[in-house]
Amino acid sequence: MDQSHSNTIEPSRKPGKHLTLDERGVIQALHHQGYSLRDIATIVGCAHTTVYYEIRRGTPNPKSNHGRRPQYTAKRGQKAYAEHRKCSRRSLKIYCEDCEPFIQWMVKQVRDKRWSLDACVGYARRCNLFNAKQIPCTKTLYNMLWAGKLPLSLFDIPQALRRKAHRKWTRNNKRIKGRSIDERPDIVNAGTEIGHWEVDTVVGHRKGHEAVVFTAVEKVTRNYIAIRIPERTKEGMEVAISQLKEQYGINHFSTVFKTMTADNGPEFTTFSNLESLGTKVYFTHPYSSWERPQNERHNGLLREFIPKGTSIEQYTDDDILDMADTLNQLPRRIWDYHSPAELFEAFLDEVYAIDNIY
């Protein structure tokens, strides 16, 4: 009786898979016994043309017209296969001398403004800064980077070394501080309305009480706010909220900040008080940072300026604001390489234009 979990049943050969040394051994044995190409192909589980080309590759050319003709061997076929695989990759595409102006400009943008290679390519094409033939594609530039063909190092582009780890489980054994993210309206994720934010704090030293950075990112425009606050407490959060009220005005606060989504950190204990201004506040599930993807992504970009373990006490308020401004000037592919600053300023112009009408 066949068992589906038994290891005595050999699985059928997947089509398109390269021949193994064992399969070449079967071809050698059957070929020497006089089996036809189609019979061998049926037994091995491949096309008869595969067997034909394999025998041709694994059979050496005769040295003369006399004597015994050379025979196919699996060892020779495997060696020929290995040699051919060495040449199966495309050769690295190297930019021409005409691309040198773009390369120099790109290096300056990466080092001075911390742009990505893709942002440089997209922005240069959108603004017609160079001839189209002078701009290599993003894939070519990253291939050149890994091959050491660019005047940049991986330390200049730390994004190239990142690896994302997604956790798909949720822990619900911790009390949520207010409205759950499950209650958040679908329009927040639809990407059609500006004014929905994800917030968090970026910590320097985890031991002791010291300054941290309150961060917020608008989900559509990707506009990023970073404010230095005295400590990671509800009192420190009140300092950040006061600055936001002063900058955007209480009358327009609920228009600019329609919703805010935070985690369950201790600093957000009284964060729901913002609902008195008309802003809906939601909290993610415990230990579920992936529910604030845009904020996590931008906090990672901020870490290029403030590495983990570095005390934030050594940075001034203006330093933190300058870091956020730099990130907001970064062109984004999702918006045809317009920057978040451009899009968010256009949104604010619409918000405050209402006052001028009346």
Domains of the chain: 21-86 (no CATH), 97-158 (no CATH), 179-357 (3.30.420.10)
**How confident is the model over 296-338, as pLDDT tens digits?**
999 999 999 999 889 999 999 999 999 999 999 999 999 999 9
| pLDDT score at 161 | 63
* Burial track 130-166 (b if 16+ CB lie within 10 A, e otherwise): beeebbbebebbbbbbeeebbebeeeebeeeeeeeee
Nearest-10 Cα torsion for 182, 183, 189, 192: 170
Instruction: Return the amino acid letter for 250.
Output: I
β-pairing, 280-283 with 259-262? parallel
Residue with tokens 């062109």: 331
| pLDDT score at 121 | 93
**DSSP character at residue 134:** G
Cα–Cα distances in angstroms (integers) from residue 258 to residues 98, 261, 275, in the given order: 49, 10, 10
| pLDDT score at 95 | 57
Lowest mean pLDDT among 193-202, 263-272, 314-323: 263-272
Lowest mean pLDDT among 57-71, 87-101, 213-227: 87-101
CA distance 239 to 19: 67
Lowest mean pLDDT among 90-104, 246-260, 299-313: 90-104
CB 179 within 8 A of CB 257: no
Does the pTM exceed 0.75? Answer: no
CB 110 within 8 A of CB 150: no
Q: Which residues pair with residue 197 across a beta bridge?
A: 218, 260
Instruction: Return the amino acid letter for 313.
Output: E
Q: Give CA 158 to chain center in angstroms.
A: 12
Q: What percent of the chain has pLDDT over 70?
A: 87
